[in-house]
A and B are shown apart, each in its own frame.
Chain A
Amino acid sequence: MASDTHLEGLRAEVRNWLVANAPKGWREARTHQDFFKSQRAWFLKLVEGGYAIPHWPAEWPGGGRSLAEQKVIYEELAAADAPRLLLSFVSTFHAFSTLEECGTEEQKKRYMPRILEGETWCQGFSEPNAGSDLAALKCKAERISRPDGDVYVINGQKVWSTMAQYADKCLLLVRTSSDGVKQAGITYLLMDMKAPGVSVRPIHQIQHDEEFAEIFLDNVEIPVSERVGEEGAGWAVAQATLASERGLTLMELSYRLRGSLYRVAKLIRDHGHENDQGILRDFGTLVTQVDSVCALADQFLNNRINGIERIGDASNVKNSYSRALRAYSLLGVRLGGMDEQYIAPITFGDLNTGNWMADYMNSYAWTIAGGSEEVQRNIIAERMLEMPREPKGWVL
């Protein structure tokens, strides 16, 4: 257990490093290319500084940090208003955890160094008919013998894959069998995004971003050596992927939301509402809501540091954060008035940009992605409040 003095020492060290190294002006990125470039440069700088992968094991430079230390690093990144690591999120959390827990030694040796060099990964989980009900996925994989080693031949479609158009590798869930329960026939593969038969189509989103993409797979061949876990064990491996992130992101986001409240304050001043009781009241309510989300995220991580976690805790944090984010952007839209109704170019890399309509539309990402608000409610109700599940077997 790290002592408080040790943690405060680390805090000072990270803070000083960030003063010297945190990039400025990163919100100005107006194209994905600029954004991609600045994200990559910042990631490599963090790797060099030793703060990019605090959750990795100690054998990796900058790894071996306790959760308490990770929390300090993320708090300081948020406090310094450094860019969030978006592009490397799937690689350093999802791909890492998957390989660390379920990968072969050879796979780890091959991919971990490439992740540290800035290789970009995406996630090929959701499908048009497998969203919240992920296990219903249908993307088909057939094993075929080849003289130089067996391959899986993949046909199907993936969707909502973040930044897939820029990714080098993909964490792919496919169906190798339709026998038994739907979870049983799922297999986990690592796919090269440059492989023949892979095509990516960015999705035009309502806020004029193209953060997500569809991936079409047409007779894509993936060597069996790229399988993680046994054939048919993909569902369990996917749990390792999804459990990789231990509340750090939501804490970081909550703190950054608090750090963005100045944008609402600026609107209040710019529009001369400094003495409007109603608006001050709504602002005070928002400030307190954001404070409570920060307190909850902080409590969640502190509990985890002390080895306490109940099923449903993370769902409460996520649903509180996403609603606060919605309320924040909605107040911005309201205070911004008619100005916000004219299209302004969006910027990349931040959730809270001050382009209020875009921020408002972006806030849906947190009520829909990463386990929708409704899925979280089911978890809270069924696992935490122990309300019974509906009986299975209902047929249309």
Chain B
Amino acid sequence: MIELNELIDAAQKAFPADQLSPARDASWQLVAEMGWLMIRVPEDDGGLGLGREASTAIHFEMGRVLASMPLIPAQLGLQAVIASPDLPDRASWIERLSAGEYAPLHMLPTKLTCTSDGLVSGTISGVFDADLAIAVVAKLPDAYALVPMDAAGVSIVERPAWDTSRRLFDVVLDGYQPDPSHILAKGDAEVRALHDTLSPEAHLALAADCLGGAAAALDMSVEYTKMRKQFDRPLAMFQALKHRAADLKTRIVAAEALLWNRVRDEEATVAQMGALKALAADVYQFVTEEAIQFHGGIGLTDEHPCHLFMKRAMLNLQLCGSSDLWKERTGREALASLA
């Protein structure tokens, strides 16, 4: 536990709460120097071998400051490589990605087609920071693979998103020939197994990002109501606002308790992890919706950071499968287990 506290302290020092969305490239440099890319890499693979608690704590802190460097997709991409024992040059990939080269996991569905001669075309939409990447870990038809950015038939197009704390790219494949030495998982069984390994990790990371952000957005709103005066008193004195703030707090702490419970729960199913992320994203969305309302007109201005949280919350809702799907799957699973 002391280790975890040290990690959180270091994160808060490196990314202070009063500097939201610090510059991406400098942040990435810092993250690599602090060894955060190695946190989840097993010791046998030259990493720090820390568990889910450590990465979750960091993602929570990075959610608080709306971190702009793509730590979540980077960790997941690296975990995809780690989970692929048959990947040629696996050790070298791990070493490079641990040291600061970047191969993000793509966290959205793809629409790709494959010709009879094996050439892949289509768009991998919503890749985080593809301009920094050496490759993207993507689901091709029938396989998970590393798609190198410098391969023939691969190009990138940045698509400005409302969430300015992230940079999203389309990776466009035009007759791309998959390289057998870059395949991570092939065939239904392997693809599903890799998905089920990565999915809980992705959901934990995103849930942590959501709840860190929600906590920061609530703090910011509460501070604002203490400072802003109308009718000769701070807004924070009005019970109508107090009760809403209290409800937000209750929703955040309950979701956070489930986050830490699931971090330690080795038995939790993929659907349960998805439902955790759906809960956390719903909480984030609602807290940031209320945050703008708490701020009043100033919350509608571009210069106030309030909207940045709302926009990140909206994007988080879309990542790693729809909330509707995970809620339904959790319901289905619970129904089956409560026979």
Contacts and interface: CB of A to CB of B under 8 A. Distances in A.
A315 B246 CA distance: 10
Contact of A287 (B237, B255, B334): B334
B246 to A, nearest CB: 4
Given A262-B338, A390-B237, A284 B331 contact: yes
A279 B250 CA distance: 26
Contacts of A377: 242-243, 246-247
A389 B237 contact: yes
Interface string B260-295: 110000000001100110110000000000000000
Contacts of B338: 261-262, 265-266
A316 interface: yes
B56 interface: no
Nearest to A324: B254
Contacts of B249: 312, 316, 380-381, 384-385
A325 to B, nearest CB: 13
- The binding surface of chain A is classed by DSSP as helix
A269 interface: yes
B243 A374 contact: yes
B128 interface: no
A90 to B, nearest CB: 27
Contacts of A388: 226, 234, 236-237
A283 interface: yes
A201 to B, nearest CB: 34
Contact of A280 (B245, B257, B328, B339): B328
Interface string B232-258: 001011010111011101110111011
Interface in A289-306: 289, 291-293, 295-296, 298-299
Contacts of A389: 237
A142 interface: no
Nearest to A385: B222
Contacts of A287: 275, 330-331, 334
B326 A284 contact: yes
Contact of B243 (A285, A291, A299, A381): A381
A280 B222 contact: no
A92 to B, nearest CB: 28
Contacts of B89: none
Contacts, number: 139
B52 interface: no
Interface string A313-337: 0011001100000000000000000
Contacts of B242: 377-378, 381-382, 385, 387
B2 interface: no
Contacts of A280: 327-328, 331-332, 335
A381 B330 contact: no
A292 B237 contact: no
B225 interface: yes
A370 B234 CA distance: 30
A299 B257 contact: yes
B329 interface: yes
A292 B279 contact: yes
B324 interface: yes
Contacts of A101: none
19 contacts: A266-B338, A277-B324, A280-B327, A281-B324, A284-B275, A284-B329, A288-B276, A288-B279, A289-B254, A298-B257, A315-B246, A319-B247, A320-B250, A380-B245, A381-B249, A382-B242, A387-B237, A388-B234, A390-B239
